[in-house]
Amino acid sequence: MRIYIYLAVFFLSAIRALAQSSPEKKYYDWAKPETIERVKVNDTTDRPADVLMDERAIEYKYGAQELEYYSFRHMVVQINTDRGLERFNKLYIGVDDVIDIILIKARSISPKGVVKEINEGQMKDQTDEEDGRKSKIFAFEGLEVGSIIEYIVYTKNYYEVFGRMIFQNDLPVHKARFELYSPDNLQFKLKGYNNFPVIKDTTIGDKNHYTTDYFTVDPLFEEKYSNFRANVCRVEYKLAYNTSNKGKVPIYTYAEVAKNVYNRIYSPSERPAKSLEKIISNLKLKEASPEKRARLVENYFKSTISVKTNQRLSEEVEDILKNKLASESGITKVMAQALELAGVKTELVITTNRYQVRFDSDFETYNFLGDYLIYLPVLNKFIAPSKFSYRLDITPYDYIGNNGLFVKAVEAGGVKMGLGSIKKIGIPTVDDTKETIKVEVLLNLNDDKMSVSYHKEMGGYLSTFYKPAYFILDKENRDKIIDELLKGVSKDAKISEVAVTHTDMNNVDDKEPFTIDAKMEISELLERAGTRYLFKLGEIIGQQSEMYQNKKRQTDIEVEYPHQYLRIIRFKIPDGYDVQGLEKIKMNFVLTEDGAQTAGFISDYTLDADGWTTVTVKEFYGKIIYHVSKYEEYRKVINAAADFNKVVIVFVKK
């Protein structure tokens, strides 16, 4: 839940209604069709469309009773291919936060200049069944390749003081512009990212005017192992000063957030809820270490309270404990207070998903304050209060490497208050997330099959799906999950024995990885070819990702978390046979940066006197971000795993 929801009321009460003025864009209209400059494309283009213009403006102005907020967009798109027709023959314009539609209209212009207009009366209203969001839908009839579609949307919206506008997707934008107008006493700060142009700060009459020159935006494409949303060209803006009320004093600061959120989460002036004190007493934590106390507290509340992120729920601790139901901030409040009662010092962390936006420490906007973590300084570890699948030791990967606002308690004159500072949320090491597979294969050439002993351990992030699922599901669904995982070795595997251990998420003393042991009989990986036998050794590690890209790489490689895989495969060469193709096993692809190996795929084998071959494969990724200049080296590591998956060795009769 956005933190600024709780703070906006503070500023609204401080705004003084000054002289009213007309919105700047009220009489805006579109140009004559023949003046629109088309883009030349050839018949073989694969570009579905070109954005000829994307002009946007927002305006804050004083109305009769309160500050008003207006939003304007003018979009012109040229359609180049059949894919473009499919993409733009119907448009959805969100109106969920709209108070009043001042102007909304659309038109299409055929390659021959025939114009068809659509007015608001021809548009349909739609409400999304899942999230309740409202849209205006309008369809363009008779579109053809070479047509231009154009729309203008001008609305009065519900008030907001922080915003973000994204100007980039997979289409080229030939002419873009951004404007923000505000009364002269309301001063904004703005910052552009990812090649957003310089923003000019000027005045028009009694209004502040923040604007860019017209600019172009290259297309940005989704790429494998990339963080698309965080890399788009965008602008962030925030209301920074209200000079009529406070002078040149910053408003909406992180210092305010720290104070207000600390008071709301920790309730320092109130006695802890009796029910909470009773729970902590019953957990009998006196003899436990700080780490064990934290684990017991976390496990208790994650096992007894359900978290609902899309409902308005009471944030009173007694209500939460009674109803066993909490919002994200509600469960954060309960757990933070419980940990403090248990003698474990905490700091509140407010951050954002790095796959949505990178938290910029140099630009204070509440848009970066979306999610809660609880930091335990004595352990240097985090708890994600609302994430059932993540427990102490594993910080949700959406947040690692991003900044956060850390809020800790300070005391002055006997009064506790929150003090905030921006810090980096640490990135785990490659040793914290490891998958180990040990396989022993006994070949039965007479029956064209093999007996397989299979052992798999999953630790760290690699366990955060299987372990929670196994913990909460019934036996039938548990068996389905494990069966599907084992069938990843071979679809025709006949599984005779399975043992799954280290599955209890609430066992604070068990720190071993989630483990599966199984016995299987497999035919699919052994194939007869005359007197020879083909052993599809590489498939034992399961299907692997491949990384190929025709276009030049645009963005850095970004992965979810550092991790590594270790595979040990043992098999005995059948009596009376020689083996061919072992040399294919040997691979060594390593990415080195500043003298350190940061990613790699290394495989080798040994052969003993008794005919046993031991294959060892190590694959590791020690960082979450690799610079785009390292793309080719990174790609070789990824593709080495896929190439190993195709390794086949041959047994030849002596």
The CATH number of the domain holding residue 226 is 2.60.40.3140
Closest by alpha carbon to 369, among 350, 387, 397? 350
Q: Do 394 and 297 lie in a common domain?
A: yes
pLDDT band at residue 180 using 50, 70 and 90 as cut-offs: very high
Confidence class of residue 13 from pLDDT cuts 50, 70 and 90? very low
Query: Does residue 563 register a pLDDT over 60?
Result: yes
Task: Say if CB 422 and CB 406 are below 8 A apart.
Answer: yes
Based on the fold, state whether residues 66 and 133 are members of the same structural domain. yes
Average pLDDT over residues 634-638: 96
| Per-residue pLDDT reduced to its tens digit, 66-97 | 899 999 999 999 999 999 999 999 988 888 88
- What pLDDT, on a 0 to 100 scale, did the predictor assign at position 211? 97
Structure tokens at 252: 């909406």
Q: What is the pLDDT of residues 207-232, one digit of tens each?
A: 999 999 999 999 999 999 999 999 99
Provide φ and ψ at 72, rounded to 5°: -135, 140
- Last residue within a domain, chosen from 397, 424, 451: 424
For residues 20-49, average pLDDT: 82
Q: Say what the pLDDT of residue 405 is.
A: 98
By mean pLDDT, which of 150-159, 273-282, 308-317, 427-436 is the weakest?
A: 308-317
Q: Distance between CA 648 and CA 644 in Å, rounded?
A: 9
> CA–CA separation, 419 vs 266, rounded Å?
13
pLDDT > 80? residue 247: no
Confidence of residue 45 (pLDDT cuts 50, 70, 90): confident
Same domain, 522 and 600: yes
Q: For position 457, what pLDDT does the model report?
A: 97
202 within 8 A of 181, measured Cβ to Cβ: no
Same domain, 73 and 45: yes
Asked which of 407, 424, 441 is the last residue of a domain, the reply is 424
The pLDDT of 296-321, averaged and rounded, is 93
604 and 525 in a single domain? The answer is: yes
Q: What pLDDT sits at residue 77?
A: 97
At 362, give phi and psi (nearest 5°).
Answer: -100, 5
Contact 257, 372 (CB under 8 A): no
Pair (16, 103) in one structural domain? yes
Residues 445 and 366 in one domain: no
* CATH number of the domain enclosing 376: 3.10.620.30
DSSP letter for each residue of 48-76:
-EEEEEEEEEEEEEE-SSSEEEEEEEEEE
Q: Are residues 48 and 32 in the same domain?
A: yes
Does residue 303 carry a pLDDT above 50? yes
Average pLDDT value for residue range 296-316:
92
Check whether residue 605 and residue 517 sit in a common domain. yes
SS (H, E, C) 265-282: HHCCCCCCCHHHHHHHHH
How much is the CA Rg of the chain, to the nearest whole Å? 30
Same domain, residue pair 397 and 439: no
pLDDT of 589 above 80: yes
| Averaged pLDDT, 560-579 | 95
User: Does the structure show a pLDDT above 80 at 295?
Assistant: yes
Domain coverage including residue 467? 430-653
Confidence of residue 8 (pLDDT cuts 50, 70, 90): very low
How many folded domains does the chain comprise?
3
Rounded to whole angstroms, the Cα distance separating 448 from 85 reads: 54
Phi then psi for residue 298, to 5 deg, are: -60, -50
* pLDDT score for 543: 82
pLDDT at position 5 over 50: no
Q: What is the mean pLDDT of residues 332-347?
A: 97
How much is the average pLDDT of 250-274?
94
What is the model's pLDDT at position 26?
64
> What is the pLDDT at residue 548?
86
Distance CA 410, CA 622 (A): 37
Strands (E), 115-263: 115-118, 124-127, 134-139, 148-157, 162-166, 173-183, 186-193, 200-204, 207-211, 215-217, 234-242
Question: How far is Cα of residue 235 from the mean position of the Cα atoms in its chain?
Answer: 19
Question: Quick one: pLDDT at residue 542?
Answer: 84
Is 355 in the same domain as 469? no
State the pLDDT at residue 380: 97
Q: Are residues 39 and 22 located together in one domain of the fold?
A: yes
List, as one string, the DSSP characters of 482-499.
Answer: HHHHHTTT-TT-EEEEEE
**Boundary residue ending a domain (211, 246, 281):** 246
* Mean predicted confidence (pLDDT) in 375-398: 96
Among 624, 187, 632, smallest CA distance to 432 is for 624
C-alpha to C-alpha distance for 644 and 253, rounded to whole angstroms? 53
Distance CA 296, CA 302 (A): 10
DSSP states along 540-601:
GG--------SSPP-S-EE-SS-EEEEEEEEEEPPTTEEEE-GGGG-EEEEEEETTEEEEEE
- The mean pLDDT of the chain is 92
pLDDT value at 12 more than 60: no
Whether pLDDT at 130 is above 90? no
- Residue 27 is predicted with a pLDDT of 62
Portion of the chain with pLDDT greater than 70, in percent: 96
Instruction: Please report where in the chains the tokens 């490497």 appear, as a residue.
Output: 401
- DSSP tag of 34: G
pLDDT tens digits for range 388-418: 999 998 999 999 999 999 999 998 888 899 9
Tell me the C-alpha distance between 384 and 42, whole Å: 53
